[in-house]
Amino acid sequence: MTHSSAPHRPLPDGLHPDTLALRVSTPASHYGEHSEALYLTSSFTQPDSETSAHRFAHPDAGYTYTRTGNPGVTAFEQRLAALEGAEAAIATASGMSAILLLGLGLLKSGDHVVCSQSMFGSTIRLLGTDFARFGVQTSFVPQTDLDAWQAAVQPNTRLLFAETPTNPLTEVCDIAALAGIAHGAGALLAVDNCFATPVLQRPIALGADLVVHSGTKFLDGQGRVMAGAVCGPRAIVDDQLAPVNRAAGMVLSPFNAWVVHKGLETLALRVRAQSAAALQLAQWLQQQPAVERVYYPGLPSHPQHALAMRQMSGQGGAVIAFRLRADSPGQGRARAFHLIDNTRVCSLATNLGDVRSIISHPASTSHGRLSEEQRQAAGITQSLVRLAVGLEHLGDLQDDLRRGLDTLAAP
């Protein structure tokens, strides 16, 4: 199916991502609706038995049943693929089902994966525990140590899997260098592009083969629905991933597809504005006496600042982590809770990429299941606070944090 803004008006080549985000769509119905229709239907009627037989044999020839395809889901897939500069994309019910699909579609028993030890917690669980039960082994390596990635490669390594920047410490790895290591080993590189989004970072242009998304985060951008996707070469998406997803049923619901498809229209504006606000907040936090250290790729003090600016279009993203001064883990936890509980504007929630700012305590939430030693090794101290910056007025956010910070700084 070709990209078009109306049935008989195909888009010209060479459009910029900001335009693609608004204009890539499946053809309108015979009503000519300007905004995409929502196809809430589980099945599609067939004109005759021959056509039906053809569509069942060739799912791309026409819609039959929503588990195997739905126009609204196709619209989201095409728009996201265009933004990532990928040949194709396949939508899934959540970010985690996108990662599961990657494993089910590309790996078999006896295969090996190399992956950062700083990946999203459920990703580590899925690869380290669940894939392992099916005979797929994963080596976890330090995010930024290229030698460790190279050393972990084995003859049976099929996939390198990275996420950059990471949650919550915003560690940045070099996508182009990892692509070199993967391809040197005859393996694929997949990148979880959830934190940067294609607005700031396009992993495929840097050499990655596949991009994974949690659409739940910035792609929706308003914290409403769960969604996920894998973007990559048509041969992999159509021949290796789509048949598995059709069988396994980890498909994106048409309603959620419609919401996320609309979200992409404002993605660039939101991500650039939220990143600009995050930089200002990170600079301000660095000056607060109660704050010991700020982790944000846009700050020159960030260990991979130069790489991040090159790889992420000059912006650091919308997620900041910062550590409060504390003499002990117990005091650190109390201080972090004090700061968080004194906010009135930020939400206490487990999400990011929302236009509403969200403050959280990783050690007792996203990283709560790790042992204290594992957390220490990962740098997730009790005094660490994560802030996913939204679109509120910057002064209101500073005032919101100042309430807790000022009482901590007092002797």
Strand locations in 62-156, DSSP E? 88-92, 112-116, 137-141
* Binding segment toward ligand PLP, per CB under 6 A, in 189-197, 246-254, 309-317, 386-394: 189-197
- How much of the chain is in helix, strand and coil states, percent to nearest 5? 40, 15, 45
Residue whose C-beta lies closest to ligand PLP:
95
Strand locations in 227-338, DSSP E? 228-232, 291-295, 319-324
Distance in Å, CB of 120 to ligand PLP, minimum: 4
Q: Considering the complex, state which of residue 250 and residue 281 has its C-beta at the smaller distance from ligand PLP.
A: 250
* Binding segment toward ligand PLP, per CB under 6 A, in 141-149, 154-162, 192-200, 337-345: 192-200
- 214 lies in the site for ligand PLP, by CB under 6 A: yes
Q: Considering the complex, state which of residue 212 and residue 279 has its C-beta at the smaller distance from ligand PLP.
A: 212
Choosing from 76, 120, 131, 161, the residue that interacts with ligand PLP (CB under 6 A) is: 120
Q: Which two structure tokens, joined as six digits, stand for 341?
A: 């509980």
Q: Considering the complex, state which of residue 195 and residue 296 has its C-beta at the smaller distance from ligand PLP.
A: 195
Size of the site for ligand PLP (CB under 6 A): 15
- 387 lies in the site for ligand PLP, by CB under 6 A: no
By three-state DSSP, how is residue 149 classified? helix
Chain centroid offset of residue 156 CA? 27
- 198 lies in the site for ligand PLP, by CB under 6 A: no
Q: Considering the complex, state which of residue 94 and residue 360 has its C-beta at the smaller distance from ligand PLP.
A: 94
Cα–Cα dist 164/142, whole Å: 12
Residue 227 in contact with residue 73, Cβ under 8 Å?
A: no
* Binding segment toward ligand PLP, per CB under 6 A, in 124-132, 134-142, 148-156, 191-199: 191-199
Tell me the longest C-alpha to C-alpha distance in the chain: 81
Q: Which two structure tokens, joined as six digits, stand for 133?
A: 């039960």
Cα–Cα dist 297/266, whole Å: 23
* One-letter amino acid of 289: P
- For residue 150, how many other CB atoms are within 10 A of its CB? 16
Distance in Å, CB of 228 to ligand PLP, minimum: 5
Interface with ligand PLP in residues 5-24 (CB under 6 A)? none
Distance in Å, CB of 95 to ligand PLP, minimum: 2
Residue 300 in contact with residue 309, Cβ under 8 Å?
A: no
- Judging by beta carbons within 10 Å of its beta carbon (0-12, 13-18, 19+), is residue 235 exposed, middle or buried? exposed
- 167 lies in the site for ligand PLP, by CB under 6 A: yes
Interface with ligand PLP in residues 215-274 (CB under 6 A)? 216-217, 226, 228
* Binding segment toward ligand PLP, per CB under 6 A, in 57-65, 180-188, 213-221, 271-279: 213-221
* One-letter amino acid of 189: L
Q: In what order do the strands lie in the sheet with 157-163?
A: 88-92, 228-232, 210-214, 188-192, 157-163, 112-116, 137-141
Cα–Cα dist 308/144, whole Å: 12
Looking at the DSSP assignment, which residues form a beta bridge with residue 293?
323
Choosing from 24, 83, 90, 96, the residue that interacts with ligand PLP (CB under 6 A) is: 96
Q: Considering the complex, state which of residue 26 and residue 116 has its C-beta at the smaller distance from ligand PLP.
A: 116
- Cα pseudo-dihedral 212, 214, 220, 226, rounded to 10: 130
- 164 lies in the site for ligand PLP, by CB under 6 A: no
Distance in Å, CB of 123 to ligand PLP, minimum: 6
Cα–Cα dist 184/258, whole Å: 40
* Binding segment toward ligand PLP, per CB under 6 A, in 172-180, 212-220, 288-296, 318-326: 212-220
- 163 lies in the site for ligand PLP, by CB under 6 A: yes
- 143 lies in the site for ligand PLP, by CB under 6 A: no
Choosing from 192, 220, 354, 400, the residue that interacts with ligand PLP (CB under 6 A) is: 192
Binding interface with ligand PLP (CB under 6 A)? 94-96, 120, 123, 163, 167, 192, 194-195, 214, 216-217, 226, 228
